[in-house]
Structure 1
Amino acid sequence: MSGNLPVLMAEFVTAKNRHDGAAITACFAEDATVYDEGERIQGHTEIRKWIDAANVKYKVSYDFLDYSEDGENALLTLMVSGEFEGSPLPLDYQLKVNSGKITELRIVLSEK
């Protein structure tokens, strides 16, 4: 992982690689929204369920590729490996951040 990531993003990636659902969820605002695979996941309880289910189903690991930010908008690109078709894939984590927490996350296939 790159040493130039902001603390929140470094904590997010580290927690994801540890499959630590509580630590990942703690990176999100209480009322945050996640968009992934056509689903909308809202709030800490649902985000935690989504994280735990994905950890069990896909057993993923993450390698840092790129990061940029513009105000409250951030783009974190990770190479995601796991038990899914096409693995590994570069994914873009399009984030909105406010007051040190993720308020919105959209996960899409990276064009990089």
Structure 2
Amino acid sequence: MTVILPEPLADYFAASNRHDIDAMLAPLAPDVVVRDEGETHRGTDAVRRWMTSTTDKYHAKVEVREAAAISGAWRITGIVSGNFPGSPIILHYDFTLEGDRIAKLEIGL
């Protein structure tokens, strides 16, 4: 089953699966906020450091399984596989868009 995502989200996941940090940053707003693993990263410089660290550490790939728009935000369910205990796991990605940019991303179970 193919899940149709808005362009910024499709671009983000495609770049993430290629481990292309520059392309992952492209759809993000300059003041983006990312929450993952109990930490909050604000702005593209901090998010670049987070992306580089997690990409190098986990080498993760996401298979998007479901997507739902909820009050102007998107909840994506993905099967994530990589170099970590318990792989693969199901994670949820909660995105807030502002125009054609990702303003906020929260990743969790």
User: TM (normalized to structure 1)?
Assistant: 0.91
- Displacement of 1:3 in angstroms is 5.2
SS at match of 1:13: helix
Are residues 1:91 and 2:91 paired? Answer: yes
Contiguous gaps of at least 5 residues in structure 2: none
Aligned residue number for residue 58 of structure 1 = 58
Letter in 2 for 1:90: I
CA distance in 1, matches of 2:102, 2:67: 15
SS at match of 1:12: helix
CA distance in 1, matches of 2:2, 2:51: 23
Letter in 1 for 2:18: R
Are residues 1:82 and 2:82 paired? Answer: yes
Letter in 2 for 1:49: R
SS at match of 2:105: strand
Is residue 72–residue 98 contact of structure 1 (8 Å, CA) maintained in 2?
no
Is residue 3–residue 66 contact of structure 2 (8 Å, CA) maintained in 1?
no
Identical-residue share of aligned pairs (%): 34
- Displacement of 1:10 in angstroms is 1.1
Aligned residue number for residue 45 of structure 1 = 45
Count of residues in correspondence between the two structures: 109
- Displacement of 1:28 in angstroms is 1.0
Contiguous gaps of at least 5 residues in structure 1: none
Aligned residue number for residue 27 of structure 2 = 27
Greater relative CO (CA pairs within 8 A, separation 6+) = 2
User: TM (normalized to structure 2)?
Assistant: 0.94
- Displacement of 1:4 in angstroms is 1.8
